[in-house]
Amino acid sequence: MMIKKILNIKKQYFVIALVITLLTSVSCKNSPKESYTIQSDALKDKIAGGWAGKTIGVTYGGPTEFRFLGTMVQDYQPIPWNDHYVKWWYDNSPGLYDDLYMNLSFVEVYDKFGLDAPVDSFATAFAYAKYPLWHANQAARYNILNGIKPPLSGNWLNNPHADDIDFQIEADFAGLMSPGMPNSSSEICDKIGHIMNSGDGWYGGVYVAAMYTQAFFSNDVEFIVTEGLKAIPEKTTFFNCISDVIAWHRKYPDEWKKTWFEIEKKWTQDVGCPEGVFKPFNIDAKVNCAYVVMGLLYGHGDFNLTIDIASRGGQDSDCNPSTAGGILGTMLGYKKIPEFWKKSLEEVNNVAFAFTDISINNATNMGFDHAIKMIERNGGKVTGNEITIKTQKIAPVKYEQSFEGHYPVETRLIESNFKDTISIDFEGIGIVVTGNVVPTDRNSAERNYIAKAEIYLDNVMVESISMPLDNTIRKNEIYWKYKLPLKKHTLMIKWLNPDKNITLRVNEALIYSDKPAVSTIKRAEGNK
């Protein structure tokens, strides 16, 4: 057994060493210059290509979003598209574009308050916006509205969704306003990404933004993917996951489905998101970013192939082609995106996204202005129509890893409606209790109703919580706590203001321990 463990460790180190060698070799072949010169219209065309590619990608993947969980979208299943497709989604399902309106919330803050806008400006705009949110974003909104400010609002101890995809799909703006300047984009991500994420969830945004910064000056997709990864610390699970995808692409250069299977086998065990642990649903940032990178590498710079492969990976299959399409659109520029896609897009180029006053053309103009200011701030020059960008040697951001030492060992189905108190006994070092407030009579329920409850852990009152009925400001989970002493615990929830028109529902309890669970079969074998 010990020899097997040693061999596995050696194998892991060999893979990491191989990928680092590949990263180095690709980087040497495409070493960035100290500065680049680009015409203003070419820079603007690339920014336009980024926003256009992102919009096209999310629209293309819209019909498949979370319909394929742990399975790919098979080749025989067509994904629809027509010349009026984007306009149809704008009119009939505008919530699809959360990838865009979240980005644009931050773009608008920069436009109003400048490059030195404090994090509170972004957090306030995000928390008080009228658009619906999910997962890490919604948990962070609740935190901010209830006094937990960034970066604590995104920290995994305060946000069970910290490793989810949220910032990964809304960090595009940071790369688009930092052409050739990955360390500047990382600084932006440090400020804004920690509003809603930490650990792998934060790294997803840092990596995506870094790839955008490289896409302005490289037409080599492999270089963009590998160079961008230098922004991520090597010992993190995010780095290891994406490194594996790069290595598998080298091993299976013409067979993306083999790489997809390798991703599924090694990286799809979620440990954070309460909706994904022990379930086929997976909104984890690194896994979905693996599909993004898979699309980019196997797409070989072809727009059609790139977004199709990124979509067919499944899971968050609108966001993944959106990210891949945005990066590739930046590399190609708007003019080189195939007309097949742009024809549908041109109906909405001047139409504002839902919950904003900003269209694709507005976003391009604002992003261009911010990019010019960033270029000048970081030592570049603008002379007439000629722009000289002082490039940056990419450096890794700080190390952080969510849920370290925490292993999910049980999801206990509770499915209970209660009117006063409920108790849950468990043994472990952490617990997440999921549930929600629902009206029993929608006509009589007060829309502004907020359930008040007290949480008792081992007979000590540890927290007072509020659970609004209003979905936009809801509390995602009833309660969570990590880093508990390993022992038997009793959790009690006491509802303080019951209402005959309201039900407080407890769905599940997700329990963590300090070691992975041992299967019944293995325990039986050990007792032979």
Q: Is residue 102 predicted with pLDDT exceeding 60?
A: yes
Cis peptide upstream of residue 182 (ω within 30 degrees of 0): no
Q: Return the pLDDT at 78.
A: 95
* Residue among 436, 454, 437 nearest 496 (CA): 454
Question: Do the beta carbons of residue 185 and residue 225 sit within 8 Å?
Answer: no
CA angle 233, 24, 263 (to 5 degrees): 60
Other Cβ atoms within 10 Å of 35 Cβ, number: 13
Domains 2-390 and 407-526 share a fold: no
Instruction: Identify the band that residue 32 occupies on the pLDDT scale cut at 50, 70 and 90.
Output: low
What is the full DSSP assignment across 370-433?
HHHHHHHHTT-EEETTEEEEE-----------TTTT-EEEEEEEEEEEESSEEEEEEEESEEEE
The beta-strand segments (E) located in 266-406 are 381-383, 386-390
Q: What value does the mean pLDDT take over residues 435-450?
A: 86
What is the CATH number that goes with domain 2-390?
1.10.4080.10
Q: What value does the mean pLDDT take over residues 56-67?
A: 97
Which residues lie across from 432 on neighbouring strands? 480, 510
Q: Is residue 442 predicted with pLDDT exceeding 90?
A: no
In the predicted model, what is the mean pLDDT of the chain? 93
Q: How far is CA 55 from CA 205, 322, 329, 339, 356, in A?
A: 17, 6, 10, 14, 15
Q: What value does the mean pLDDT take over residues 390-400?
A: 98
Q: What value does the mean pLDDT take over residues 144-166?
A: 98
The tokens for 336 are 């080189």
The CATH architecture to which 407-526 belongs is Sandwich (2.60)
**Positive or negative: CA dihedral 92, 93, 95, 99:** negative
Amino acid occupying residue 458: D
Q: Is residue 13 predicted with pLDDT exceeding 50?
A: no
**Positive or negative: CA dihedral 314, 315, 318, 321:** negative
Instruction: Identify the band that residue 518 occupies on the pLDDT scale cut at 50, 70 and 90.
Output: confident
* Residue among 259, 322, 301, 271 nearest 61 (CA): 322
Instruction: Identify the band that residue 5 occupies on the pLDDT scale cut at 50, 70 and 90.
Output: very low
Instruction: Identify the band that residue 525 occupies on the pLDDT scale cut at 50, 70 and 90.
Output: low
Instruction: Identify the band that residue 71 occupies on the pLDDT scale cut at 50, 70 and 90.
Output: very high
Cβ contacts of 131 within 8 Å, gap of 6 or more = 95, 98, 101, 102, 354, 355, 472
Domain ranges of the chain: 2-390, 407-526
Q: What value does the mean pLDDT take over residues 398-424?
A: 95
Q: What value does the mean pLDDT take over residues 305-314?
A: 98
DSSP-derived letter for residue 129 is -
Amino acid occupying residue 518: V
Q: Is residue 147 predicted with pLDDT exceeding 50?
A: yes
- pLDDT tens digits, residue range 181-204? 999 999 999 999 999 999 999 999
Q: Is residue 404 predicted with pLDDT exceeding 60?
A: yes
CA angle 507, 509, 512 (to 5 degrees): 160
Does the reported pTM lie above 0.85? yes
